[in-house]
Amino acid sequence: MSRLAALPPRRLRRLPVLAIGVTTALTLTACATGADNGGADTPTRSASPTSAPPGLLTKEEAKKVVDNYEKVNNRANASQDAKLLGTVEAGQIHEQSTADFEQWETWSEKDQKYYETDFFYRDREYLIPAADSGATWFAIKAHSSADPKAGSVLVVFDKVDGATYKVVMTVYADEPIPKIAVDKHGYVSPADPSQKVGALAPDQLSESYEDFFETGGKTAGNTFATTESSKGSTDVYKEGVDEDLEGYATEKFFAKEPAHPKVYALKLEGGGVVALFPTAHTSEVMLKPRYMSGFDITPGPTESVYDDTRRDVVTDEFEGQALAILSPKAKPRVTGIEYRMVDSR
């Protein structure tokens, strides 16, 4: 899974007929990067076995799920086996992981070695809802053995096939995650993704956030609080095409429906919500009309994995996942966001 949220720089390349070359920068973190020890902290408080209602699963059962995910994921990363990884992973994160494997040959040896290195989740907090909550998922808050300096990561495990828990979202937070609410039995409370918390509901975040790419934040800049994620997304819009393409082509972004639209949200102490939401867009680099007869766009190595033909327009698809803090009294804060190119045509 990709840790960073970079978008593709592009360069001018001369061919027998002058053409514009498009290259894509690598963003890397071992698929669903995690951290070591398996049995750390949990927000679940002790309660009498006879008085506490059942949870969706026990902490011990959740630990086995997470341990197995680490084991299988590490094996799959070492051999770039998407089928094997699919036994423990689904959703947006699997879209990104599959793209990593598809693009493997375009990576440097250093990046490949890093990706193949085993990872573990350490300092785990098990975020388990009650069995009668209606939720099909649980989460962990943890840190990564692969990146000790990184902030906390939230990892969601859902029964997407009705039988097996699989990781569906993994997002690193650039800021400390506020305290997640737990009841007297230590269970977390899932929030309704369609219920507004302040300006937006969790399931409105993606469409609203993509405005940073489409317009530079003409609307989103007033809706969202300024964070490292929002500033980075605005910068992508402001930068436009790379210097070598200036004068030859334009670049535009278009929001699209994420491949896996399910949103996950938990209530915070004080009335807020932490939400993990999918998001997606396309990037369209197009030659200006006056250059279409004498120029073409040559896709770079990563784009060529999907389509190596020269063309007037290069359209790249990106699937993303993000973390947001919603407050009844403040603007939504997107405090972690990651995109991965998953197709080019």
How do residues 259-304 score in pLDDT, each as one tens digit?
999 999 999 998 999 999 999 999 999 999 999 999 999 898 999 9
Residue reference for tokens 């603007």 = 331
Instruction: Report pLDDT for 17.
Output: 28
Range of 15-29, 128-142, 158-172 with top mean pLDDT:
128-142
**Residue that wins the pLDDT comparison between 220 and 27:** 220
Listed residue (326, 294, 331, 303) closest to 178, CA to CA: 326
**Cβ density class 287-326: b for 16+ within 10 Å, e for less:** beeebeeebbbbbbebbbbbeeebbbebbbbbbbbbbbbb
Neighbours of 235 (CB within 10 A): 12
In angstroms, the Cα distances linking 160 to 2, 88, 307 are: 21, 10, 31
What pLDDT does 289 receive?
96
pTM for this prediction: 0.85
Per-residue pLDDT at 102 exceeds 80: yes
Identify the three-state secondary structure at position 171. Answer: strand
Average pLDDT over residues 5-32: 33
Q: How many CB atoms lie within 10 A of CB 117?
A: 14
With vertex at residue 253, the alpha carbon angle to CA 221 and CA 245, rounded to the nearest 5 degrees, is 115
pLDDT digits (tens, 9 = 90+) for 41-66: 444 444 445 578 999 999 999 999 99
**Does residue 36 contact residue 74 with C-beta atoms inside 8 Å?**
no
| Exposed / middle / buried, residue 139 (Cβ in 10 Å: 0-12, 13-18, 19+) | buried
Q: Assess contact for 95 and 1: CB atoms under 8 A.
A: no
Nearest to 126 by CA among 48, 63, 83: 63
- pLDDT digits 0-9 by tens, 158-209: 998 888 999 999 999 999 999 999 999 999 999 999 999 999 999 999 999 9
In this prediction, residues 217-235 reach a mean pLDDT of 97
